[in-house]
Structure 1
Amino acid sequence: MLKKPLTAVAVLSLLTLTACGGGSGSGGAKGADGVAMGPGVTDDEISVTVISDFSGPIAQGGIAGSLGVEAKMDQINREGGICGRKVVVDKRDTKYDPQITTQQYRAAAPKNLMVAQFVGTAGLNAVRANIERDDMPTLSASLNTQTLALPNVYVAMPPFEVELINGLTWAAEKAGASAGKTVKVGFVTSADETGKIYLDALEHAAKATEGVEVVAKPTYTNADTDFTAQINSLKDAGAEIVMLGVTPAQTAGIVGQSAQFGYKPTFVSSSGAWSSSLGKPLEGLLDDFYVSGGYGTLNDDNPGIQALTKAREAYAPDAKPDNFEVGGWINGTVVAAALTKACEAKDLTRAGVKKAMVDLEVSFDGILPAINLGDGDSIVSHQSRINKIGKNGVQVPVGDFFESDAAKSWDESRGK
């Protein structure tokens, strides 16, 4: 019971809060069609936010990833929208800075039903309590198992750890590793908690793969621009295969400087370590560089990529192709499937979207194998594919999707 009279302003504020669905996102308002509406939902629109780096150190990937989401939503809107409503994308620039990320998330939260794409593990950790408090369904583009443990955060693609494990098993087989032949391998990861998890995954893969000897494990910090020490560590140890658990910034430095020092190992990276913008500056240095990617490339010929290409050409015809678009398209496809399912239940609140995500099955028309989101805490797939770098830095597949026993056994053992 209220213990003091409400002023007119207080009454108006209370009504506004109720109409917006409140802090929990459970909603109270209903649309003309009887659908319960949470924050960012009206009779005409569903607003979702993309929280990403648009002007900082990984802006190239952030812009391309957001473009994939935007192109998917534009396609949906041209086909009539979802639940009779247009889907609007509210873009928020974090500059890849956790403090700015916190500010942008707080500004976006009251105005949006869900986060269609969130880029940056450090940023996610900075607002994890907010995401939990706001009951905010969030699709992460930071594809690592750290994010799986965060409340209300979903990863709809194989994480980087799975890509790295599969990449190491493939590279070792390609090099002929066996009981009778030892292949020397080096790992490059970041000197933080994310890097430790990548290292754990790679060490597991090495132990599970006959003939692999780990000879060097140099780390880096985000402030590093000179990789002489790391390269000398790998070169002096005789690493024939170098696994890169890095971002595109480190890929450029490590591959470029290795060539200057006459060091030419086989490089294998996760999908997050390559951007097509590196194709030109590293031209001629990529003959033995491979990407283990958990989803397809813009060079694929399947219905999913055809639809993405057509949608991008309609939405942003002048945009330079980058494979991070594919990741954004995948997240956009999951958002569309979740909103459609929530609409069918007449519950476009955050709680309704989260309920729709449980055991949500999504097909991507060949871009990657179909997934089931399950409980949101599990790896959705252990499959990846090996790609080389083609024209304009765009990846070209050299094989089919596969999953290694090492990837599955690492998942089963993690956290134990």
Structure 2
Amino acid sequence: MTRKHRLRSTAVLTSVLACVLTGCGADAGTDANDGPVDAKGVKTGPGVTDTTISLGVLTDLSGPYGPLGRSVLQAEKLYVDQVNAKGGVCGRKLKLVVRDHGYDVETAVVQYREMEPKIAAMPGLLGSTIINALLDRIEIDDVMTTSLGYSSTLLGQPTLTTINATYDIDMINGFEYLADTQGLGPGDKVGYIYLDGDYGNNARRGAGFLAGERGITLVEKKVGPARKDLSEQVRELGQAGVKAVLISTSPAQTASAVGAAAAIGLDVPFLGSAVGYDPQLLKTPAAPALVQMLQLVAPTPAMTSDTPEVRKLVADYQRRYPGDPLDQGLETGHNTMAVAVQDLKAACAAKDLSRVGIIAAHRTQKAFDPGLGPVLDFSNPWRPSATQSYIVKPKKGVPGGLAGVKDAFKVPAVEEYLSTMI
């Protein structure tokens, strides 16, 4: 994060916290600049009418992350419809304003400018390059925004939030799990294939920290997004004598790497970031190798979990979208909208549905359980909202193509790492 962003974020956060402490909005209407107040004394703002609250979703439905974007959006729509069926929030129905940027920055900038005056908040912004291009504008406009990317570089922004553990925290938890279960220790070599970009570099940062703590040597292979065949990188890791491989790449690259390892007889465990997996990979020739060799560290449980919330989501989604594939994006969409609705309820209770009021309401959420994953704490913008992770593995014939291996856990190294970031 740049020094400019830190200074601006600190100033905005101070203003928001002052709003929380003084209950700003409770006596709304005394100042003409405060914004309109409804008949029940609730201050309103952009995107809020007497009957609706409009929420923005700026996502990728037609570009490289289209399948994920579609799953997340459909789960969000499902959640919104269920909330509206129960009367909505603050006497208003929720309305989604959706735009497909196709992962094009210029398109996203234009769409944001068009969308911004119409929305109260934006619980759905997909794409690290898109976020970076819009971050300054989001801060200036006071639009409470949920990132659908989980890099810790996005922390510290009062108007931008991430849900669940960030990529680096997941990798610290996952790497220590791998080291413990495989007996890895000082002097051992572990390969790491990671994507050059916010996602891969952030996950690698966590892995690098844990490797230093455990005395393990990382043999690193950075790859670009256009790289399809990772057999060369895998062969080099085999020659280096690695005992395991970490991987934070695209799903297609994950399949390439694990398949290549199986082909050359590199019989070592792979641990990947969950975003680098798609259940559709189980329909490819790499499926047997993925099932046998790959585990994933994830911020949410597998959709085979027997918790009532997961079972209900699967049943509701299949009823609403019969035949559509199930993946972890469903949990992301559910949790994202659950947090947004909780923010709006808290803002309504504080009689302040203005944008600043929604930001303040979000930052008062210290122990919110969205039903799918760890309890979330949004009170400190400089910390991830959760620091626990799950271990899952590919499995055919089950919802989402993943089976649970280890429930939510957190290793001691996570807090040591976080202390280095502040």
Normalised-by-shorter TM-score class: 0.7 to 0.9
How far does residue 90 in structure 1 lie from its aligned partner after superposition? 1.7
How far 1:204 sits from its partner (Å)?
Answer: 0.8
Q: How does 1:114-129 map to 2 (within 5 A)?
A: 114-129=121-136
Would you say 1:300 and 2:310 are equivalent positions? no
Counterpart in the other structure of 1:38: 45
Query: Could you tell me how far 1:391 is from its partner in structure 2?
Result: 2.3
> With structure 1 as the length reference, what TM-score do the two structures score?
0.87
Aligned to 2:229: 226
Matched, 1:166 2:154: no
Q: Is the 8 A contact 2:47 2:54 kept in 1?
A: yes
Q: How many Å apart are 1:387 and its aligned residue?
A: 0.6
Alpha-carbon RMSD across the aligned residues, in angstroms, is 2.0
Mark the runs of 5 or more structure 1 residues left unpaired by the alignment. Answer: 1-25
Shift of 1:152: 0.9
Tell me which amino acid in the other structure corresponds to 1:236: Q
- Structure 1 distance, partners of 2:260, 2:108, is 32
- Alignment of 1:328 with 2:326, yes or no, is no
Q: C-alpha deviations, 1:358-388, integer Å up to 9, x for none?
A: 1313543652221211132212222111111
Work out whether 1:284 is the aligned partner of 2:291: no
What SS class does the counterpart of residue 226 from structure 1 fall into? Answer: coil
The equivalent residue for 1:364 is: 369
Quote the offset at 1:252 in angstroms: 2.8
How far is the alpha carbon of 1:114 from its aligned partner?
0.8
Q: 1:358 to 1:150 in 2, by over 3 A?
A: closer
Matches within 5 A, 1:108-119: 108-119=115-126
**Match 1:204 to one of 201, 209, 213:** 209
Structure 2 counterpart of 1:384, from 389, 393, 397: 389
Structure 1 runs (4+) deviating above 4 angstroms are none
Correspondences of 1:141-290 after superposition (within 5 Å): 141-178=148-185, 183-192=188-197, 194-209=199-214, 212-214=216-218, 216-281=219-284, 282-286=286-290, 287-290=292-295
Contact 2:158 2:359 in 1 (8 A): no
TM-score (norm 2): 0.86
Pair 1:400 & 2:407 matched: yes
Q: Compare the two structures and name the one with the higher helix fraction.
A: 2
Deviates more, 1:116-125 or 1:62-71: 62-71
Tell me what 2:82 maps to: 75
1:243 Cα offset (Å): 1.0
Partner Cα separation in structure 2 for residue 333 and residue 402 of structure 1: 22
Which residue of 332, 349, 363 corresponds with 1:344? 349
Counterparts in 2 of 1:315 and 1:107: CA distance versus 1, 3 Å: farther
- Secondary structure in structure 1 of the residue aligned to 2:406: coil
Counterpart in the other structure of 1:50 = 57
Unaligned runs of 5+ in 2: 1-32
Question: Quick one: structure 1 residues 151 and 340, their matched pair in 2 at CA, closer, same or farther if it must change by over 3 Å?
Answer: closer
For 2:131 and 2:343, the matched residues in 1 are separated by 21
Residues 216-275 of structure 1, C-alpha deviation per residue, up to 9 Å, x if partnerless? 201011222232332232222122211112232322332233334443431111221112
Q: Confirm or deny: 8 A CA contact 1:337 1:362 kept in the other structure.
A: no
Q: Structure 1 346/310 Cα, relative in aligned 2: closer, same or farther at 3 Å?
A: farther
- C-alpha distance in structure 2 between counterparts of 1:275 and 1:109, whole Å: 32
Q: 1:155 to 1:365 in 2, by over 3 A?
A: closer
- In the other structure, the counterpart of 1:12 is none
CA distance 1:128–1:156, change in 2 (3 Å): same
1:271-291 Cα deviation digits (max 9, x unpaired): 211122222213211212011
Distance, in Å, in 2 between the alignment partners of 1:369 and 1:196 is 24
Percent identical across equivalent pairs? 28
Residues 83 and 343, structure 1, Cα contact 8 Å, conserved in 2: yes
Does the 8 A contact of 2:247 with 2:272 survive in 1? yes
Q: How many pairs were matched up? A: 386
